[in-house]
Amino acid sequence: MSAFLALLKRDLMLSVRQGGALGTALGFYMLVVTLLPLGLGQDLNLLSRIAPGILWIALLLAALLSLGRVFSSDHEDGTLDVLATGRMPLEMVVGAKALAHWISTGIPLALTAPVLGLMLNLDIAVYPLLMATMLVGTPAVSFIGAVGAALTLRSYRGGLLIALLVLPLYVPTLIFGMAAVNGLLGVSGTSAAMLILAALSLTSVVLCPFAAAAALRVQMQ
């Protein structure tokens, strides 16, 4: 367990030191949200209606942007080889790194959503629920994304390829996240969607490390 915590702490420390990753993701997040009203027109009623969807999609794209580096920086400097020795299985290494990605990217993105919601004229009553769905759903984003990052570790079109592999797998997260938010806007089934979203996150936390670790093992040969 101390090895797991040490790795988690190191990854968080690195993301603070390097700084750029989170800044870039947040900047991208805001930019996507800024571009959409420019493209869709300034109808505030329309914007407030589609704001949760815009925020969720922008969050997925921004999280995706930072996924590429999850394993590749450790692969390039030889750290991944050393992480694979020792008693902690590679699955736990993946878990620690994906968890660090969630803490360093998923949570900040979810917490920024209300600020961007203001720009989209989103009803303030929706904020707590929107943030809750994002906090509950982003673990799935980080862990499923880790599988994509592991699979594309040695491919020569990293970033774009991750998007192609991972975005289809984000469909359930997006749909249930939106279903939970729409529940408050008066459609139905908020608690059911929220529970399914939580189940989705927990399942990815458990299963994705196995797929990602298998992919990493193959590439370390």
Partner 1 sequence: MQLVAENLVLERGNRKVANDVSFTLEGGSGLVLTGPNGSGKSTLLRALAGYLRPASGSVRILGIGGSDGDTGESCEVGEVCHFVGHLDGIKSHLTAAENLTFWATYLSDRADSGHSVAHRVYDALEVFALNALADIPAGYMSAGQKRRLGLARLLVAHRPLWLLDEPTVSLDTGSADILVKAINRHLSDGGMAIVATHLPLAIEPARGISLVRKEAQA
Partner 2 sequence: MQTLTQRLANPTRFMELSGSVLPWIAGAAAVVIAYGLYLAFYVAPPDYQQGETARIMYIHVPCAWLAMAVYAMVAMSAFGFLVFRHPLADVSAKTAVPLGAAFTFLALVTGSLWGRPTWGTYWVWDARLTSVLILFFLYLGLMALRSSIEDESLASKLTAILALVGIVMLPIIKFSVDFGNTLHQPASVLRVGGPTIDTAMLTPLLVMALGFTLMFVAMHFKAMRNEILRRRVRALQLAQVEKAQASQLAAAE
Does residue 156 interact with partner 1 by CB under 8 A?
no
Residues 27-46 touching partner 1, rule: CB under 8 A, are none
- Cβ closest to partner 2, residue 38 vs residue 156: 156
Min dist. Cβ of residue 125 to partner 2 (A): 23
Greatest CA separation for the chain: 58
CA-nearest of 45, 69, 37, 48 to 146 is: 69
Does residue 23 interact with partner 1 by CB under 8 A?
no
Min dist. Cβ of residue 15 to partner 1 (A): 10
Token pair of 116 as six digits:
């961007």
User: Which of these ranges, 26-34, 50-58, 129-137, 160-168, lies near partner 2 under the rule CB under 8 A?
Assistant: 160-168
Token pair of 61 as six digits:
């794209």
Site string for partner 1, 78-107 (x = CB under 8 A): xx-xxxxxxxx-------------------
Does residue 2 interact with partner 1 by CB under 8 A?
yes
Min dist. Cβ of residue 161 to partner 1 (A): 22
DSSP SS3 for 200: helix
Burial (CB count <10 Å: 0-12, 13-18, 19+), residue 196: middle
Q: Are 21 and 66 in contact (CB under 8 A)?
A: yes
Degrees (nearest 5) of the Cα angle 111, 149, 91?
A: 95
Residues 59-78 touching partner 1, rule: CB under 8 A, are 76-78
- Cβ closest to partner 2, residue 47 vs residue 179: 179
Q: Are 109 and 131 in contact (CB under 8 A)?
A: no
Residue 193 touches which of partner 1, partner 2, none (Cβ within 5-8 Å per kind): partner 2
Report how far residue 62's alpha carbon sits from residue 54's, in angstroms, rounded to the nearest whole number. 12
Residue 24 phi/psi, 5-degree rounding, is -65, -45
Min dist. Cβ of residue 153 to partner 2 (A): 9
Q: Which of 176, 190, 194, 209 binds partner 2 (CB under 8 A)?
A: 176
- Cβ closest to partner 1, residue 83 vs residue 122: 83
Report how far residue 168's alpha carbon sits from residue 33's, in angstroms, rounded to the nearest whole number. 21
Binding site for partner 1 (CB under 8 A): 2-3, 6-7, 9-10, 13-14, 17-18, 76-79, 81-88, 217, 220-221
